[in-house]
Amino acid sequence: MKISTRGRYALRMLIDIAENQENGFVALKEISLRQDISKKYLEQIVPALSASGYLIAGRGFMGGYKLSKRPSAYTVADILRATEGSLAPVACLEGDTNLCQRADSCDTLYIWKGLMEVIENYLEKITLQDILNRKIKRNDDYVLL
Phi/psi-derived region of residue 99, left when phi > 0, alpha when psi is between -120 and 50, beta in every other case: alpha
Q: How far apart are CA 140 and CA 6, in angstroms?
A: 30
Query: Which helix (H) or strand (E) covers residue 80, if one does?
Result: helix 76-84
**pLDDT tens digits, 58-117:** 988 888 999 999 999 999 999 999 999 889 998 888 888 887 888 888 888 999 999 999
For the chain, list the domains and their CATH numbers: 5-140 (1.10.10.10)
Q: What is the pLDDT of residue 145?
A: 52
**pLDDT tens digits, 9-54:** 999 999 999 999 888 999 999 999 999 999 999 999 999 999 999 9
Structure-model confidence comparison of residues 4 and 102, the more confident one = 4
Helix (H, G, I), strand (E, B) or coil at 141: coil
Q: What is the pLDDT of residue 96?
A: 82
The pLDDT confidence band at residue 144, using thresholds 50, 70 and 90, is: low
The pLDDT confidence band at residue 5, using thresholds 50, 70 and 90, is: very high
pLDDT exceeds cutoff 60 at 122: yes
Q: What is the pLDDT of residue 92?
A: 86
* This prediction's pTM: 0.88
